[in-house]
Each structure stands twice: as structure tokens, then as C-alpha cells.
Structure 1
Amino acid sequence: MHLTPTHATRFATATLAHLGREYPYKMDLVLTGPEDARPPREHHPIFHGSFDWHSCVHGWWQILRLARRFPDLPVAAEIRARADEMLVPEKVAGERAFLDRPYSAAFERPYGWAWLLALHDEAERHDAPWSAALEPLALAFAARFHAFLPKLTYPLRVGTHFNIAFALLLARHWAETRDPALVTLIDSRANEWFGADRDCQAWEPGGDEFLSSALTEAHLMAVLLGGDFTRWFDVFLPRAAQEQPATLFTPATVSDRSDGKIAHLDGLGLSRAWNWRAIAAALGPAHPAAPVAEAAAQRHLAAALPHVTGDYMGEHWLASFALLALDGL
């Protein structure tokens, strides 16, 4: 299953509708006084839609990617016009100023940081001024990674926004051509945290997780280790060719898609599909786990893709993960 113009139109149409939808909105804000109780757009001139800041950021990543991949679709012209209006220096300055507020050091750490870097990377692939406008914000978040990673003693293995392996995947992709020191730092910390992991039990999913702790870690190590990945994988998931642990190969049951936390499990299916595809490619076709991994990717994708739209609790974010699953980073 691959990205098609039909997928692109469906995803982009839904995302354009919620990027500017201001309410409901979940603020990440510490009030320092009554003057801080202002509407979201006054705090976030660009990222005040899509229910929360990070979903708005990766919604922008998604529509820019779709406009680049399918530039002749009618919706692509609307995307470019919206970007010309919103991704401008004065609005970026407002977003950047938010980072200087008291108690903002952990704002969107690390998930939103990583998605902003992914957005900047995508914007740079367009013949437009959007990347230059976003650069001060991207550099600010890169600086936060530089400051944060050395003091993070223990890895964040949870399957939600705090997962460190997912953030490092996106941040490293951005840094490869821009910040070699950050690449070195990411590789060093990832090897310290994950390099000696053995026989993963994969106690997942948790009831509200949208990332696989095990597979996101393996995906990151595939990027870091290159030709040495197979040796690491064979001791990390030694029974993968036998589809064990079974939890990693079985799509999650989603009991209520109107519940924002339970709806996370559709995202788990999509992110696992992305992970399994990357892992299969890194292992190579001769590895016995590769066809099993690819089959698991297709199984998870088939279970989750029909539910990308339909309820706002999933619709405001799931298309970005569907795009990862279908088209990669």
C-alpha cells in the first residue's frame, strides 16, 4: 500500500479544515498572572489550530509534504496560499517569543520540538520563503535538544509524546545536513540508552499509546547503526521471525474513537506500520524477519487507515502518521 493522489486529497482536505479551527484547543501554558489568560491565537500566531500546538505543527508538515508530492492537485494551490499567509517572519517571531516565557523550558518537550524540525526540513524543500521564516524557531528547538539530551539520564520509553526515540528520529533527520554536532550527540545518547538492550519483552500497548516503545527504538537504531543493525536487532527481538512477542504483530483494539486517549491506538497502528517498514528495509530481503515485518506493517496499516478521518479526536492528527506509514519521513 503506497501513497496515492486519493490519499493526498483526503488527508490534505481534512487537515486544512482543522489547521485553522481554534476550538477546542488544549493549551500547554503555565499562567503567571491573569494577563496570560488569552485566546490561543494570541499566544501562538501560527499553531493555534488542530486541537493542540504539536498537532498543528505536524499538520503543517503533512500538507507541505503532500503539496510537494502532488503539486498538480487542486488542493496543493490552497496549501501554498495558506502557507504564504501563515509561515511569515512576524508570525514566527510570535511563536519564538513564547519560548522565552517563564516556565517554558519543557514546552512541547521533546515531541513538539522534533515535529517543528521536521516541518522546517520539509519547508526547505520548497521554492518558497517558508523555511527562512521558520529557521529561528527551528534553531531554538535544536538548541534545546543540545541542552536537554546531556542531562537526560534515563531514556523516555513510553509510547506517548514523551518517547525519546521518536523525537530523536525526527531531530536527527533534520540535523544530518545542518547540525553535525547534534547528530553526534543523538548517536552517542541513543547508543548509551539502547545499544545493550536484549530480548525485548514488548509489554505494549498501553491503553493510550500511539508509539511502540520497542519498534520506535529499533527504527532509531536502524538509522544509527546502518550495516551493524542486523546484529543488534537479532538480540533485541531474537524471535521476530516467529512473530514473537506477539504484541508487536497484532493491531490494537480501539474501543472508542471519540475518546481522545483511546483514539491514540489508531496512531499506534500507523506508527507501527512506519516502523516495521523501515525495519524490514534495514534488515534486507534475505533476513528471515524481513517478510514478517513487512506483513505486520501492512496488517497495521489496513487496520488503522480507514479511521484517519471520521471523529475529530483522531482527525486532528492521524493523517500525519498515515503519511509517515505510506511515504516515510
Structure 2
Amino acid sequence: MLDEAFAGRLARTALSHVAREYPNSIAHVMQGDADALTPRQMHPAFFGSFDWHSCVHSWWTLLTLRRLFPDSPEAASIAALADRTFTAGNLEGELAYFTRPEGGGFERPYGWAWFLALHAEAARHADRDWADRLAPMARHLAAGFRPYLTKLAFPIYTGTHFNTAFALVLAHDWGREHDGPLADAIAAYAEDAFGPVTDYRGWEPGGDEFLSPILTATLLMSRVRDQGGFARWFDGALGNGWLVETCQPVSVTDPADGKMAHLDGLNLSRAWCLRAIAAGLPDHGEAVQRIADRHFAASIGAVDGHYMGSHWLASFALLALLASPEA
């Protein structure tokens, strides 16, 4: 369960790296020598946590924990660091990077979606103006989803950052609160792309995946359909025994290898998806919860282990904890 002690563990882990610039993995298109910049020069707010998207969703983790445990020892540190980080100048610099001619595809769709989740969480902190400062970039990225979905002829099922369903879950959640037409567009795309899925027997997990292609799609369908419609879809897509026979926790052979460490994320993200869908499956809910719990137990210890995992895993642990029936 998510209690103050465990929340503190997650918060301390994220606080240790959101402002740590190096080591850093960058994906940066350069047109000349002038574009050879440090991470902090390119991303004055989100230069930490090894890469841009991990920094963004680690900030989502911190703000979420601050809201849930406002009297915790870490809450004041989170607020103070956020005040120093989410300045107008820093966030204008972040938006400027995305509006570069070369910046249109940067962090699409994974980082885009996590930024929307961060903005949604910031809006729940009424004592700060963080959401107002994040809003211009949130609107810019939200607007980018519409043309992206129009030209994305086929959903991307890979279990890494390009996964379509995962991004659309977060973007749809944000849209329901801040942009109804975007939420409707995502729901329509989900029906076209994932509605026809039946009898899933895909090749997963891949050796460096941190998302389940089918479970992210399943979670998305649970968001865009009513309970009855979703239950029927689930029976058609996963009523073949795949969950029980194939969806088992995986182990990491080398936590210092960033790609291999992804598999801890797979366990935690599967736990999140399974816990989130269980309530909408009256005929399968208890069995689904048990599978989720096994996945969660397999990797929760990695959240503050080697840096190749600790710079990002806390966010997925928190997603799974928030989806628990006890949350």
C-alpha cells in the first residue's frame, strides 16, 4: 500500500535525480555546430533524470506525492524545487525547443503524454501557479496529437516509448479534464485501431520492453468504453487464456544495463494496467488482481536500485499503487 513511509522512499529517489544533469541520454537533431548544447542549455527545466521524458514523469511522481502526503518530510523540498524549476523563463525555453523546425517529433508520443499528465497533476495544487506556467506547452503538445493521429495509419504496438496506446491513455485522461475534443478524437482513434483486436497471442515480452502491447491497449479500451462494452471487448481479445498462461512476471538479468532494466518497468506497468482494468471486469476481476500483484512484487524492489532503473521506475510503481483497490 502507498503509505507515507513508502511515499517518502519514492520521493527521495526522484528528488535525487530530477536536477542531476549527468549522465544524460539525449535525442537531439543538429543542423550545425551551434546546435551542440548541454542538456541544461537545451532543457532548462527538464535536464535531469538521465533523459527528458524520465525527468518529466519523475516530476509527475513528485507532485503527486506532495498532494497525497502534504505533511510528509519531503513535501516542502518538492515544492521548493518545483518553484525554482517551473519558472517562466525555464518553461519558455522548453517550449522554444519544441517549436524549433527540428523539434516537431521530439518525444512523440511518450514524452508528450507524460507532460500532459504532469500538467494535469500540477493543476491539482491550488496553492501554486505551476499549472499556469506549464499550460502553454501542454496546449502545444495537445494540439500536436490531432495531426499525429490523423497520419498514424497504424498504431505502434512496440512495448517501448513509441507505444501508441500508452500515450493515448495519459493524453485521454488529460483531455477529459482539459480538452474534451481531444479526448473524443482519442476515443475514436482507439475504436478504429484497437476495437477490432481479437484472440490476442502476440510475441511478448520483448527483451527490452517496459510496456505490454496488449495490456496498454486493454487499458485504453477500458477508458473509452462503458463497462459492458469493455467487458465484451476483453472477452474477445483476452478470453483465450493468454493472461493466465503467458502473462507471467519477468526477471532482469543485468539491472545496470538500461535496456535490460526495462523489464522491471514491464512488471510494474503490467501491474498498473491489470489493477486499473480489474474493476471493470466483474467476471475476471479477482484473477486479474492476483496476476497484477505477482508482477508488482517482482520488481518493486528496483525503484531505488541501480540508476538505470531508479531514474524512472518510481513513476510506474506509483501508477500501480494508485490503481490498487486499497488506494
Q: TM-score range by the shorter chain?
A: over 0.9
Q: Which residue of 2 aligns with 1:104?
A: 103
Could you list the runs of 5+ residues in structure 1 that have no partner in the other structure?
none
Matches within 5 A, 1:19-98: 19-98=18-97
Q: Is the 8 A contact 1:211 1:267 kept in 2?
A: yes
* Residue of structure 1 in register with 2:235 after alignment: 234
1:297 is matched by which residue type in structure 2? Answer: A
- What is the CA distance between 1:103 and its match in structure 2? 1.9
| Residue of structure 2 equivalent to 1:144 | 144
Q: Which amino acid aligns with 1:168?
A: L
Q: Secondary structure at the match of 2:132?
A: helix
SS of match in other structure, 1:184:
helix
Distance, in Å, in 2 between the alignment partners of 1:222 and 1:69 is: 25
Give the % identical residues: 50
Aligned to 1:304: 299
Question: Once the 2 structures are TM-superposed, how far is the Cα of residue 177 of structure 1 from its aligned partner?
Answer: 2.0
Match of 1:314 among 299, 306, 309: 309
Q: Deviations over 1:88-141 (max 9, x none)?
A: 211110000001222211100000000000000000000211000000010010
Question: What amino acid maps onto 2:249 in structure 1?
Answer: P
Q: Which amino acid aligns with 1:263?
A: A
CA offset digits 1:199-245 (Å, max 9, x no partner): 000321000000000111111101111221111100101134x844x
Q: Which residue of 2 aligns with 1:325?
A: 320
Distance 2:280 2:6 in 1: 26
Give the residue type in structure 2 aligned to 1:149.
L
Structure 1 letter corresponding to 2:28: L
SS of 2:74 mapped into structure 1? helix
Determine the structure 1 residue equivalent to 2:288.
293
- Figure out how many residues of one structure are paired with residues of the other and give that number: 322
Q: Is the 8 A contact 2:251 2:298 kept in 1?
A: no
Matching residue of 2:271 = 273
Give the counterpart letter for 1:203 in structure 2. W
On the 8 A contact 1:146/1:182 being kept in 2, the answer is yes
Please give the per-residue CA displacement for 1:152-181, whole angstroms capped at 9, x wherever unaligned: 000000100000000000000000022111
CA distance in 2 between counterparts of 1:322 and 1:253 reads 16
Residues 91, 328 of structure 1: alpha-carbon distance in 2 compared, 3 angstrom cutoff: farther
**Cα-Cα RMSD:** 1.2
Give secondary structure in 2 for the equivalent of 1:19: coil
Give the corresponding residue for 2:115.
Answer: 116
Measure the CA separation in 2 of the matches of 1:278 and 1:328: 5
TM-score, length basis structure 2: 0.96
| Moved beyond 2 Å, runs of 4+ | none
Question: Does the 8 A contact of 1:166 with 1:220 survive in 2?
Answer: yes
Any idea what SS the aligned residue of 1:177 has? helix
Amino acid at match of 1:91: N
Q: Is the 8 A contact 1:205 1:247 kept in 2?
A: no
Query: Which residue identity lines up with residue 259 of structure 1 in the other structure?
Result: D
Q: Distance in 1 between matches of 2:234 and 2:323?
A: 20
Amino acid at match of 2:122: A
